[in-house]
Structure formats: C-alpha cells, structure tokens
C-alpha cells in the first residue's frame, strides 16, 4: 500500500541579489517507512557558471552535511540523534541564503528510495 512522503529540491543561489539558482539535490522523507535520505550532485559547475567566484568547496561541505544529517551520522552532532521527521523539518527550514530548500511537496510511494532516484534524475541531473 502506498505511503505518503514529502520531498524538496535543494538549490544553490550563488549571488542572492540576482535571484538565480541551480538545483543541486533532493531530500525525501517518508515517516511511515522511516526513510530520510538526500542525493546531491558533486558537480557544481553550473552554479560556478552563474558566479565565477562561487565557493564550491564550502557548498560541497554543506551538501555533504545534509546527506550526513539525513543518514543520522554522528559527525553532524546532536541533531543526528533527533527523529528523522525533526531532521527533515530542520533541513527544509530557511537558514541559508546560498543553499536553500524549495517548497516541500508530497506524494504517495511504496519505494521512497526509488522516488529519490527519480526526483534527482528529473530535478537535478543535467539534461
């Protein structure tokens, strides 16, 4: 039986004053199946195309932290011990002008990992 899930696209805004962004990742959360995971791109070249001075190393570290927090990895500190729903809400809350979560969307799924792969392919992977 399909279960409800939530998802968001992570985007990078190299120069906030211009309002341009590049989709760089997806987070999927399914409470009933106890699933929280993110997939992010390692290639930030499109973001650098919007701003040659863009700090790709700092953003890569930030995105690695998102994946680690989704996985509940101890390297991210006390937040890793929070329930997955709290971690998802923390990740989608506005806090950075450079790495932003788009609005949260919902759906139904039997396989949240497959949804994550499909959303990443459709929303982030270059055409």
The model's pLDDT over 89-120, given as tens digits with 9 standing for 90+, comes to: 999 999 888 999 999 999 999 999 999 999 99
- 93 membership: H or E segment, kind and range: none
Q: Is the pTM of this model over 0.85?
A: yes
Of 91, 45, 89, the C-alpha closest to 68 is 91
Res. 127: pLDDT tops 80: no
Do the strands 3-12 and 22-30 form a parallel or antiparallel pair, or are they unpaired? Answer: antiparallel
Do the strands 3-12 and 35-40 form a parallel or antiparallel pair, or are they unpaired? Answer: unpaired
Split at pLDDT 50, 70, 90, the class of 126 is confident
Residue ranges of alpha helices (H) inside 21-83 are: 45-50, 56-71
At residue 32, the pLDDT reads 97
CA distance 75 to 91: 16
Find all residues with CB under 8 Å of 66, minimum gap 6, and list them. Answer: 10, 25, 27, 38, 40, 91, 99
Find all residues with CB under 8 Å of 41, minimum gap 6, and list them. Answer: 24, 25, 124, 125
């Amino acid at each position: 039986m399909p279960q409800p899930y939530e998802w968001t696209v992570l985007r990078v805004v190299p120069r906030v004053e211009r309002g341009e962004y590049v989709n760089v990742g997806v987070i999927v959360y399914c409470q009933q199946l106890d699933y929280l995971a993110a997939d992010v791109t390692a290639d930030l070249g499109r973001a650098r195309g919007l701003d040659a001075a863009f700090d790709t190393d700092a953003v890569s570290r930030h995105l690695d932290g998102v994946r680690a927090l989704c996985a509940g990895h101890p390297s991210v500190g006390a937040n890793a011990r929070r329930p997955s729903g709290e971690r998802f809400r923390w990740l989608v809350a506005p806090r950075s002008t450079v790495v932003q979560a788009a609005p949260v969307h919902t759906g139904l799924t039997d396989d949240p990992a497959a949804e994550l792969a499909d959303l990443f392919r459709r929303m982030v992977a270059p055409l």
